[in-house]
Amino acid sequence: MFEDKRIAVIVPAHNERRLITQAVSCIPAYVDHIIVVDDASTDGTREALLQHQDANLVVLRHENNRGVGAAVVTGYREAIRLRANVAVVMAGDAQMDPKDLPRLLEPVVRGEADYVKGDRLSWPGVHRVMPWERLIGNHVLTWATKLCSGFFEVRDSQCGYTAASTQLLSMMDLNVLYPRYGFPNDMLAELRICGGRLAQVPVRPIYGMEQSGISLRTAVFGVPKVLVRSLARRVLSGRVHPRFVRTK
Ligand SMILES: Nc1nc2c(ncn2[C@@H]2O[C@H](COP(=O)(O)OP(=O)(O)O)[C@@H](O)[C@H]2O)c(=O)[nH]1
Ligand SMILES: [Mg+2]
C-alpha cells in the first residue's frame, strides 16, 4: 500500500532473462502486486521468473508475441481484476529506477492526475547518459506527440515509466490502444480523448547492459504511423483543444 492505495506494477518482458530478476527484485515492498507479462519469450525469461520467490508476483504469458503495448494492456486488465487503485508500468530490463516510483504515484493517489508519466529529459545531466541518437529521436517524436496527443506541454514522449489510476483505465477502451512500440504515444492521445488529466515528473535515465528491441525502422516509420492514427482518432472524437499538463 502507498498512502492507503493498492499499487500494482506491470512489467512487460520479452526475452529479458538476464535482467528480469534484477528488475523485479528492486520493486519496493509497498507494492501490492507485481504483474509480469511474458510475451512468448524464448530465452528462459519464464524459467528465471519461476525461480524468483515472491508472494506478490503474478506471471502471465502470451503464447504468441503480441507486443509491448498488448502486454501492458493485459497487465492493466489484471490490475483492475486485482482491485488495485494504481497501475504502474516498469520495464523488465531494469531501466527504471524504483526510487522514482513515489514521485510517479503521488499525483494519482492524491487525486491530482489520472495518468502520470516519467520525464527523463528534465533529469539533470541527461545529455551525458542518454545516447545522442536517442536524444534526437526523442525530441522529434516528442514534438510530434504534442500535436497528435493534444498535450502540448508533454516532454519525453518515449518514456514508458507511467502510473495510471485504475478508475481511468476501467473507463477507457483498452482494445483500441496500439499493441507494439508507440503504445505510450497512443496512450496519451487516448487519455486526451477520455478527458483524463496528465502529470509528468522527472525520472532518472538509466542505460546499462540492456539491449533495446526498437529498430531504426520502427522509430522512423513505425511510431510516426501510430501518431497519425492517434491524431485521426482524436480529431474524430472532437477533442481538438490542447490540454494542460501538470509538471512538478
Ligand atoms: N511483453 C512484451 N514486452 C516487450 C516487447 N518488446 C519489448 N518489451 C519490453 O518492453 C520494455 C521496453 O522495451 P525496450 O526494447 O527495452 O525499449 P526501450 O527501452 O524504449 O529501448 C522491456 O521491458 C522489454 O522487455 C514485446 O514484444 N512484448
Ligand atoms: Mg529498454
What would the pLDDT profile of 52-70 be if each residue is shown by its tens digit? 888 999 999 999 999 999 9
Structure confidence at residue 239 (pLDDT) = 86
Minimum mean pLDDT range among 30-34, 118-122, 123-127, 243-247: 243-247
Rg, Å, the chain Cα set: 17
Find the 91 Cα to ligand 1 centroid distance in Å.
7
C-beta pairs of 132-136 under 8 Å, 24+ apart in sequence? none
Ligand 1 pocket mutation, candidates 9, 10, 14, criterion most atoms within 8 A of CB? 14
Let me know if residue 97 belongs to a domain.
yes
What CATH number should be reported for the domain holding residue 61? 3.90.550.10
What's the chain's average pLDDT? Answer: 95
- Of all protein residues, the one whose alpha carbon is nearest to atom 19 of ligand 1 is 212
Let me know if residue 1 belongs to a domain.
no
Find the 4 Cα to ligand 1 centroid distance in Å.
30
Q: Residue 35 pLDDT more than 70?
A: yes
If one counts the domains in the chain, the total is 1
- pLDDT digits 0-9 by tens, 7-33: 999 999 999 999 999 999 999 999 999
Find the 212 Cα to ligand 2 centroid distance in Å.
5
Q: How far apart, in Å, are the Cα atoms of 29 and each of 15, 24, 26, 55, 174?
A: 25, 11, 9, 11, 28
- Structural domain including 190 reads 7-247
Let me know if residue 2 belongs to a domain.
no
Q: Kindly provide the b/e burial profile for residues 130-169, where b requires at least 16 CB atoms within 10 angstroms of the residue's own CB.
A: beeebbebbeebbebbbebbbbeebbbbbbbbbbbbbebb
Q: Residue 220 pLDDT more than 90?
A: no
Q: What is the pTM of this model?
A: 0.95
Let me know if residue 103 belongs to a domain.
yes
CB 196 within 8 A of CB 170: no
Q: Beta strand 33-39 with 115-119: parallel, antiparallel or unpaired?
A: unpaired
CB 35 within 8 A of CB 27: no
Q: Which atom of ligand 1 is nearest to the CA of 210?
A: 16
* Residue 171 parent element (H or E): helix 166-171
